[in-house]
Amino acid sequence: MGASFVPRLSEKRWDHHVERTLFERWQKEGIYEFKSTARDKPFIIDTPPPTTSGRWHIGAVAAYSQIDMIARSQRMLGKHVLFPIGFDRNGINVEIYVEKNSNVKMRDTPRERFIELCAEALDKLEAQIAEIMRSVGLSGDYVHKYRTDEESYRKFTQATFIELWKRGLIYETTRPNNYCHECGTTIADAEVEYEDLPSSLSYVRFKVRETGETLVIATTRPELICSCQLVIVNPTDERYTKLHGLHAILPIYGREVQIKAHPSARPDFGTGVVMICSYGDYTDVLLFRELGLTEILAAGPDGRLTSAAGPYQGLTMKEGRNRIIEDLTAQGLLEKRENIKHRTPICSRSNTPIEIIPMKEYYLKQVEFVPKLKQLATKMTFHPDTSRQILNDWINSISIDWPISRRRVYSTEIPVWFCKKCGTPLLPPPGKYYQPWKDQPPMAKCKECGFNEFAGETRTFDTWMDSSVSAMYISKYPTNSKFFKRSYPVSIRPQGKDIVRTWLHYSILRCYQLTKRAPFSHVWINGLGMDEQGQAMHKSKGNVVEPEPLLEKYGADAFRFWNASEATLGSDFRCSEMRIAGAHKFLTKLWNLSRFISSFPKPRSAKLQPSDKWILSELSLLVEKSSTGYRDFNFFIPATELRDFVWETFASHYLEMVKPRAYGQGFSTNEQRAAWYTLHTVLKTILLLLAPIMPFMPEHIWRELYSKRSIHSERLPKPAWAKTHKRYTQEIFAFNREVWKVKKDRNLALRDQIEIDVPRALAPFKEDLVKMHALVPKP
Ligand SMILES: [Zn+2]
Ligand SMILES: [Zn+2]
């Protein structure tokens, strides 16, 4: 190396602890600040407010990093970006967290006190998440952060309820629904998950009253026999045709029920004979409704058997099941038992099996909106396009309205009072935050009967009632109608595919009901974070990868570059230290070559040589491909294109070709300047293209070498260079690889001379190639 070439980047290695300094500098300079006074339509990201109810999963950190890539790339495309930092703080998750960590029971704790405990826990959890947000470099609006439990948000949720109630879209009724006794509340279908759990199928002997013969029924829920109101067989099942219209006698209880033919009986399950109970599953619910049967409730809200279960009253469902199996066995009424895997409905919050119990709840109409929802789904652009199907499948499965009330405490209160005399529900005017369980009633007289005493509603909303209107809240629907008009629908909704049936569906439903429009133009659905083997991460499996130590060890840029280059948009991605360490090698490479280039002057112009024209042709291609990825919000494309370009095309080939020229070894000053000019042009372009994905190292190099202004205030580059020389790429690659191989085979060092002729097709590059490989003509 010539003595005069000293790298301007003095540090031999990239120290990622510089990231924190840079982050603080951005905050001080306010470069991401959003000014709502600007006149243009802002690019608004309806950020998923993270649920503050536990540690932040690596998949969530990865998802937020990618949402930050949306914000950064859109800013560099010239958009005025609003990237809100919000926290979803309502709901069952935090209540369960507090019960576990403070060793209290929600139902045994005064409501005020329990709410305080939740708020304290949330503040701590939120601070942890905010810390990770900073350490991974999110460029959000930390100054105007919002929380779904703040007064203005809850007031807004309540106002939307009051409006939809007035318009007749909300009603209260009693109907069998999913009930989680662990959470003590009704939950929506969207929050029920199904797991194949080990269970046993009991073959129980019933008697046919008219003939006295034995009728065997296979059931996974023998404890529900007490609530059986009907026995069905399939009309096509010839084994049982003679039983149609006869009666079965229930074992243990001796009660008689009708035997009917009905198509919902599956001849291939068990014995083909099915008992219909209130309620084992949704088939039971439908048959009770269809046939007008009287329900007998076997399960109580406490998860225990009711008095209808006779001797088993007070036992949990599982205890009851075991006891009745013992009794049936003792009485010779159990033919056999088979171990099976049973598809069991589970509460997604508490992971416990749910029961179907009728409770009086508020419902928001959604069934009648299904055709409209399908139409709206076609109007939004999905990224990737295939993810629209997840939404369509869910919409097609909707069969009942959305139960929106919960028997919980840390959520937005339902703003209703009831007249103590006639029971009429009375709603206050919108515009205030109401807590009916403790506030004075805001009305003087019942509008129906004139009575003046009221009982406040004690229930709260399902948390999705709040988070489903986030697009309206962040576009300032409640407070700034001018801004709302120019900002809504918001630009993009990024989220995981695991909450399509909840957050995405409910947002479209609610915002449509309130605004008559879809809430966003683009929907961006990313995959889920899996472990190294591609398995879902679970505490119980011990395969959870914690993000903080990895961020500490490798820095945000490596973490983010790993995530962007790991999987294409929409696919699940694997998380492991090894993969992040792999991404870190790219940073080292980038640092080393930037440092090398930083030793050369930066001429403003130059007379380009063929090799320079070639790499700039490739650079134009890179810019085009990367921009396509950025415009489609698919960061896998720029990340992998940049990785390949930097390692291969640029570092392995071009850089080696022009090193002798850059050092001026036997070249004219003009030729040398052309190498310097091109090296800096390529580096600047790479830094700009990488900045949305890895915000720190490119920023550091940029400010050291090229500008006092932040790289994040720049625009993404345009493909400004002629692509005339891209036709040489394969030839150049092939020739260089061939020379390297021959030298290797002959145990020669790279700088050793070798007798090889430059092929005629590469004649324009002859001088660079001869110097690069120390070629000497064949004798
Ligand atoms: Zn639950
Ligand atoms: Zn009244």
Distance from the CA of 470 to the center of ligand 1, in angstroms? Answer: 24
**Stretch (H or E) spanning 260:** strand 256-261
Return the sign of the alpha-carbon dihedral for residues 599, 602, 608, 614.
Answer: positive
More confident residue, 503 or 52: 503
Phi and psi (nearest 5°) for 426? Answer: -120, 130
pLDDT value for 70: 98
Q: Helix, strand, or coil here: 738?
A: helix
Residue pLDDT, tens place only, 741-775:
999 999 999 999 999 999 999 999 999 999 999 99
Separation of CA 185 and ligand 1 centre (Å): 8
Taking the centre of ligand 2 as the mean of its atom positions, its distance from the CA of residue 426, in whole angstroms, is: 9
CA of 179 to the centre of ligand 1 (A): 8
Which ligand ends up closest to the CA of 443?
Answer: 2
3 pLDDT above the threshold of 80 = no
Q: Which ligand is nearest to the CA of 422?
A: 2
Task: Write 738-747 long-range contacts (CB < 8 A, 24+).
Answer: 739/773, 739/775, 743/773
Q: Give the H/E segment covering residue 644.
A: helix 636-644
Lookup: tokens for 294? 């009287």
Spell out which residues have Cβ within 5 A of ligand 1, the ion. Answer: 180, 182-183, 347, 349-350
CA separation for the pair 572, 374 (Å, rounded):
26
Ligand nearest to the CA of 453: 2
Identify whether the C-beta of residue 529 lies closer than 8 Å to the C-beta of residue 559: no
CA 91 to ligand 1 center in whole angstroms: 11
- Ligand 2 centroid distance, CA of 186 (Å): 27
Ligand 1 centroid to Cα of residue 309, in Å, is 24
Give CA–CA dist 439/506, Å, rounded: 29
Q: What distance in angstroms lies between residue 405's CA and the mean position of ligand 2's atoms?
A: 23
Q: For residue 182, how far is its CA from the centre of ligand 1 (angstroms)?
A: 5
**Span from the CA of 418 to the centroid of ligand 2 (angstroms):** 8
The pLDDT value given to residue 2? 44
Cα(604) to centroid(ligand 1), Å: 66
Q: In which band, very low, low, confident or very high, does the pLDDT at 543 lie, cut at 50, 70 and 90?
A: confident
**Left if phi > 0, otherwise alpha if psi is -120 to 50, otherwise beta: which for 12?**
alpha
- CB-based contact 427:163 (threshold 8 Å): no
The Cα-based distances of 28 to 31, 143, 294 in angstroms read 8, 12, 68
- Of the listed ligands, the closest to the CA of 99 is 1
Judged against a pLDDT cut of 50, whether residue 687 lies above it is answered with yes
Q: How far is the centre of ligand 1, averaged over its atoms, from the C-alpha of 169 (Å)? A: 27
Name the closest ligand to CA 179: 1
Give dist(CA 292, CA 190) in Å, integer: 27
pLDDT of residue 91: 87
Compute the average pLDDT of residues 412-431: 97
Average pLDDT of the residues in 431-449? 96
Shortest-distance ligand to the CA of residue 184: 1
What would the DSSP string read from start to end of 525-566? Answer: EE--EE-TTSPBP-GGGT-PPPHHHHHHHHHHHHHHHHHHHH
The residue among 545 and 745 whose pLDDT is bigger is 745
Question: What is the structure's pLDDT at 303?
Answer: 87
- The number of the ligand nearest the C-alpha atom of 349 reads 1
Ligand 2 centroid from CA 422, angstroms: 4
The pLDDT > 90 percentage for the chain reads 89
Q: How many CB atoms lie within 10 A of CB 350?
A: 17
Whole-number Å distance, alpha carbon 447 to ligand 2 midpoint, is 7
- Distance in Å, CA 442 to ligand 2 centroid: 15
- 1 confidence band (pLDDT: 50, 70, 90): very low
* More confident site: 4 or 175: 175
Ligand nearest to the CA of 354: 1
Q: Report how far ligand 2's centroid is from the alpha carbon of 449 (Å).
A: 4
> Ligand 2 centroid vs 161 CA: distance in angstroms?
21
pLDDT at 519 (0 to 100): 97
| CB within 8 Å of 734: residues ≥ 6 apart | none
Compute the radius of gyration of the chain from its Cα atoms: 34
359 CA to centre of ligand 2 in angstroms:
23
Query: How far, in Å, is the centroid of ligand 2 from the Cα of 417?
Result: 11
| Greater pLDDT, 252 or 55 | 252
Task: Compute the distance from residue 468 Cα to the ligand 1 centre, in Å.
Answer: 20
353 alpha carbon, closest ligand: 1
Distance 431 CA to ligand 2 centre (A): 24
Which residues crowd ion ligand 2, with CB under 5 Å? 419, 421-422, 424, 446, 448-449, 451
Phi, psi of 484 (to 5 degrees): -60, -45
Q: Which ligand is nearest to the CA of 191?
A: 1
Contact criterion met (CB below 8 Å) for 358 and 297:
yes
Q: Are 13 and 588 in contact (CB under 8 A)?
A: yes
The answer to whether residue 329 scores a pLDDT higher than 80 is yes
Judge whether residue 675 has pLDDT over 90. Answer: yes
| Closest of 33, 40, 121 to residue 83, by C-alpha | 33
CA dist., res. 682 & res. 673, Å (int): 14
322, 167 Cβ separation under 8 angstroms: no
Please, what is the average pLDDT of the chain? 94
CA–centroid distance, 59 to ligand 1, in Å, is 23
Q: How far apart are CA 511 and CA 489, in angstroms?
A: 10
Q: What is the mean predicted confidence (pLDDT) over 434-454?
A: 96
With 90 as the cut, is the pLDDT of residue 180 above it? yes
Query: Which ligand is closest to the CA of 348, given by its number?
Result: 1
Model confidence over 233-280: pLDDT tens digits? 999 999 999 999 999 999 999 999 999 999 999 999 999 999 999 999
419 alpha carbon – ligand 2 mean position (Å): 5
For residue 433, the model assigns a pLDDT of 98
Residues 6+ apart with CB under 8 A from 743: 749, 750, 752, 754, 773
- Contact yes or no for 251/333 (Cβ under 8 A): yes
CA of 186 to the centre of ligand 1 (A): 9
- Specify the DSSP element, H or E, that contains 638: helix 636-644
Please state the pTM of the whole predicted model.
0.91
Give distance in angstroms: CA of 435 to centre of ligand 2.
Answer: 21
pLDDT in tens, 115-146: 999 999 999 999 999 999 999 999 999 888 99
List the beta bridge partners of residue 172: 362
**Does the structure show a pLDDT above 60 at 58?**
yes
Token pair of 506 as six digits: 């409910």
Ligand 1 centroid to Cα of residue 191, in Å, is 9
777 pLDDT band (50/70/90 cuts)? confident
What's the average model confidence in pLDDT over 82-102? 92
CA distance 19 to 427: 52
Q: How confident is the model at residue 690 (pLDDT cuts 50, 70, 90)?
A: very high
Sequential DSSP letters for 431-477: SS---TTTSPPS-SS-TTT----EEE---EE-THHHHTTHHHHHTTT
Residue 201, pLDDT score: 95
Chain center to CA of 504: 10
Amino acid 29: pLDDT: 93
Mean pLDDT of 469-487: 95
DSSP-based three-state secondary structure for 183:
coil
Strand residue runs (E) in 369-450: 381-383, 402-403, 405-406, 417-419, 425-426
- Taking the centre of ligand 2 as the mean of its atom positions, its distance from the CA of residue 453, in whole angstroms, is 8
pLDDT confidence bin for 289, thresholds 50/70/90: confident
Task: Give CA–CA dist 12/10, Å, rounded.
Answer: 6
Read off the pLDDT band of 371 (50, 70, 90): very high
Distance, CA 156 to ligand 2 centroid (Å)? 27
| CA 189–ligand 1 middle distance (angstroms) | 12
Expressed in angstroms and rounded, the spacing between residue 504 Cα and the centre of ligand 1 is 21
Pick the ligand that lies closest to the CA of residue 351. Answer: 1
Give the ligand at the shortest distance from the Cα of 446.
2
Separation CA 202–CA 336 (nearest Å): 6
Asked whether the predicted pLDDT for residue 370 surpasses 60, the reply is yes
Q: Which ligand is nearest to the CA of 447?
A: 2
- List pLDDT tens digits, range 562-612: 999 999 999 999 998 999 999 999 999 999 999 999 999 999 999 999 999
pLDDT of residue 54 exceeding 80, the answer is no
Q: Other C-beta atoms within 10 Å of 720: how many?
A: 11
**440 Cα–ligand 2 center, Å:** 17
Q: Give the ligand at the shortest distance from the Cα of 419.
A: 2
